[in-house]
A and B are shown apart, each in its own frame.
Chain A
Amino acid sequence: MGDSGTFWLPEQASTIASQVDGLFYFVTWVSAILFVGVVAAMLYFAYRYRRTHPSERPTPVKESKLLEISWIVVPTILVLLVFNWGFKTFIEMNVAPPDAYEIRAEAKKWSWLFTYPNGTQSDTLYVPEGQPVKMTMSSQDVIHSFFIPAFRVKHDVLPNRYSSVWFEATKTGTFDLFCTEYCGTGHSDMITQTKVVSQSEFDEWVESGGGAKDLPLPELGKRLYSQQGCQACHSIDGSSMVGPTWQNLYGKTGHEMEDGATVTADENYLREAILEPGAQIVAGYQNVMPASYSNLSERQLTALIAYMKELSTNEAPSGD
């Protein structure tokens, strides 16, 4: 099973994992012993007392009160033990330490969006190693569920309220993050990754606005297009939605504005259109684009424009 997991369980990568696994193995072993006892007795009796002649008439066995009481009492003790243990760990799982770092998770059909305290967003979950993290989660549509097997945590994500889950990652690496509440066609595609990185790396990543240092700019732009919600108003296939399409936008000359002016959609214009949407309104559209995009980082802006470039077959505007 890849990684460094065991036969039964995947790799342990959170503080709670070893406790859950201890409990899992305890129950497994106690069950195995009782199970082997039951099956061995059954097989032994089936062999030892097998019928040798149709007319056999065994004498009735007398019931033994002691035996009957013992198999009531012993299991009762065992289950109370397990209950006590499972319940303590459960409480621990439910109460996040006060210093936990908070990340918002937004689930929708069929993607995850994580928002960090400084507004950075990503669809891959980044978490620092050795730091308790509390996820505050909600859903835009139906119920989803947040599950990271390596951390042994799971919680449903509901549409009408916030739910939360916390964990502290203990090793760096990449771990699967699944949606485990059935949510329709794309349920099994609602998979992403958890990247555990060192605290310093994490800080740098968040600071750089979800850096994704390794990602080529147009790629990042494409991702921002959906993450930042541009796709709600801008198409990339030429159709007009709430806002103008991005197809062949870049490099467009003689682009008409509401006030009659025409502009060339070069980098500077696009930059301004994003940061200050109200400055110039495109002819035929309302001034409804949110101004909140002004806090996009430099890198994010560049990435978005790089993406628009990819969507355009126009020549680069002269003087560029």
Chain B
Amino acid sequence: MSTDASAAAVHAPEEGAHGEDENYLNHETGLWSWLTTRDHKRIGIMYCLSLAVVFFAAGMLAMAIRAELIAPGQTVMDADTYNQVFTMHGIMMVFLFLVPSIPAILGNFVLPLQIGAKDVAFPRLNLASWYVYMAGAIMTIVALVTGGVDTGWTFYTPYSSSTGGGILWMTAAIFVAGFASIFTGINFIVTIHKMRAPGMTWNRLPLFIWGLYATSIVQVLATPVIGITMLLLILEQSLGIGIFDPALGGDPILFQHFFWFYSHPAVYIMILPAFGILSELIATFSRQRIFGYRAIALSSVAISLLGFMVWGHHMFVSGQSAVSSIIFSLITYLIGIPSGIKVFNWVATMYKGSIWLQTPMLYALSFLFLFTIGGFTGIMVGVLAVDVHLHDTYYVVAHFHYVMMGGSVMALLGGMHYWWPKMTGKMYNETLGKIAVALIFIGFNLTFFTQFILGAQGMPRRYYDYVEKYAPLHELSTYGSWVLGLGLFLVLGYAIHSLYWGKKAPANPWAAATLEWTNVAALPDPHNFLRTPLVTRGPYDFHLADEVFGGGDGVGDGRAATAGTLEAPKPAPSAPEPQESH
């Protein structure tokens, strides 16, 4: 039965007759109602705004990096400034943007909707997470004001324990922001375990939820370790406790082990939810049941667990023992296999589908293209002998931008476009959307593919200045970053435009089959569902999802129809009132 229609029917009897109906955005207004909200959707929006600012700032720093590197020698800033710029770029992008990004924005917004819950399990903790995050962000600004940080995002000792500036504030900020991540992780695990709507069995969970579940496991298990690492580093700096600083008898390699024990799993915090988004996009825009649902779901969990055993692949030339290097290398490859399962399954899902190339799908296809390159080059740097040559060169820089920007950020952008109508109630401009994808895709490859060649040729990373022979490729890379930046600004532009002037969105513009589209009004109710849904089929069973098509045939895609104008659904088979959610 068509619940989007029923929801709309209850809520918007006559379209346009008397203004807006009540929804999560307008049922309370004023800044205070936002700052004290416990609604997961509003918290998602607040995170979205904060993270957009961080992404913007860190992206501008990236532009500054590229500007400096356009030619050898000093071009726009001096060496010390450059070192601070790339450090802050890395720290902000990783700790303050990409780690929280998908879970905190889309996870918060979508997770309860997708499993049929009224909210996450601990709404107050959820709000606390945002405040803690903001505290971390403010401490980062303090770090900047008190002298900046120039250690690289990896904080290797003894450099980091012997240099001054804002390093104490920065490490403290990361310590604090870690709690935001832990809170989100705990909240999601409990919500997924305990708050599912009746009928929402584990096998019917949308894959985005599986992705978030795997992510949360990593967040809970890994984040405390970066916490203690940062704490020990702070004590090393302030008291000289001599755990990491060789001048005091400490061991700098131990620091690297600590750091990567978190920071490698952290890369899976960044990519697993992106995998989840991708499954949603590919399934919805192919209108096909996901090929290998179980394989995709379980491979996420496999990756999250394997991810804890490979941190040493960042240290092949650091002086750790050869035996450990060999073991780390072997496990590193094993991660390629579950990742491959996903990639192949996504492609297979498109087979005999009905493929609709809207902007979100274009992001999904870009993801497949870029992440596969990023992943394969990950395998390349995991090859012991080859990594000796490639380590700390631009090859690694290119690798991780392909997975982080080309993978996670592309998925995030795809997801933002996909859920934009649900979040804002407005449609964005499809044509501009497609132009932006093209610019981003081309600009991205121009910026970073050149860096693979640079790196293989031996160009070391974190170099403010470089020898002449690398100049042409660096120049090209900088031009690429302009195209990329242009594309992103275009996104920002039409996003803002759509907020004010965008077309009103229907409840299910993509003819998707998951709960947030089928059972929730165009703009969700403050309590999400008017009635707790009863789930009777899998998330991608389009052939069973008559409600999506307004009764069997005809309108799909919500193009012709907007919410409220669909035929009233046939009465649904009534289900007993659900009391328990398991």
A residues with a Cβ closer than 8 A to B are 1-3, 5, 7-10, 16, 19-20, 23-24, 27-28, 31, 34-35, 38-39, 41-42, 45-46, 49-52, 54-61, 63, 67-68, 71-72, 75-76, 79-80, 82-83, 85-87, 89-91, 93-94, 141-143, 145, 147, 149-150, 152-156, 158-161, 163, 176, 178-189, 191
Contacts and interface: CB of A to CB of B under 8 A. Distances in A.
Contacts of A160: 246, 251-252
A83 B343 contact: no
A60 B541 CA distance: 8
A182 B318 CA distance: 13
B446 to A, nearest CB: 17
A160 to B, nearest CB: 3
A55 B554 contact: yes
10 contacts: A27-B386, A35-B376, A46-B350, A54-B557, A60-B288, A90-B322, A180-B391, A180-B460, A180-B461, A185-B83
Given A57-B354, A68-B345, A82-B383, 20 more contacts: A8-B457, A27-B379, A31-B376, A35-B376, A50-B355, A50-B357, A57-B549, A57-B553, A58-B288, A60-B289, A61-B348, A79-B336, A80-B333, A90-B384, A145-B317, A149-B457, A153-B388, A180-B460, A188-B465, A189-B79
Interface in B131-171: 150-152, 156, 158-159, 162-163
A142 B162 contact: yes
B24 interface: no
Closest 6 CB pairs of A and B: A149-B458, A160-B246, A89-B385, A90-B384, A31-B376, A79-B333
A21 to B, nearest CB: 9
Contacts of B393: 180
B326 A49 contact: no
A7 B450 CA distance: 11
A180 B330 CA distance: 25
Nearest to A70: B344
Interface in B384-398: 384-386, 388-389, 391-393
A38 B343 contact: yes
Among A39, A56, A186, which residue has the most Cβ atoms of chain B within 10 A? A56
Contact of B368 (A39, A90, A183): A39
B35 interface: no
B391 A89 contact: no
Among A9, A76, A142, which residue has the most Cβ atoms of chain B within 10 A? A142
Contact of A156 (B163, B317, B337, B343): B317
Given A54-B559, A75-B337, A155-B317, A61 B389 contact: no
Nearest to B79: A185
A38 B334 contact: no
B458 A147 contact: yes
Interface of B: 79-80, 83, 150-152, 156, 158-159, 162-163, 246-247, 251-253, 286-289, 291-292, 295, 316-319, 322, 325-326, 329-330, 333-334, 336-337, 340-341, 343-345, 347-348, 350-357, 365, 368-369, 372-373, 376-377, 379-380, 383-386, 388-389, 391-393, 453, 456-458, 460-467, 469, 511, 541-543, 549, 553-557, 559-560
Among B345, B385, B553, which residue has the most Cβ atoms of chain A within 10 A? B385
A90 to B, nearest CB: 4
B391 A154 contact: yes
Nearest to B561: A54
B392 A180 contact: yes
Nearest to A156: B318
Contacts of B348: 61, 67
Given A34-B376, A83-B330, A179-B460, A152 B159 contact: no
Which secondary structure characterizes the binding site on chain A?
mixed
Nearest to B344: A71
B408 to A, nearest CB: 19
A143 B379 contact: no
Contacts of A79: 333-334, 336-337, 379
Given A2-B469, A188-B464, A61 B288 contact: yes
A71 B347 CA distance: 12
A161 B253 CA distance: 11
Given A90-B388, A153-B388, A178 B340 contact: no
Contacts of A5: 457
Nearest to B246: A160
Contact of A86 (B386, B467, B549): B386
Given A39-B372, A63-B291, A89 B469 contact: no
Nearest to A7: B453
Contact of A91 (B316, B322, B340, B373): B322
B460 A68 contact: no
B170 to A, nearest CB: 16
A272 B343 CA distance: 75
Contacts of A9: 456-457
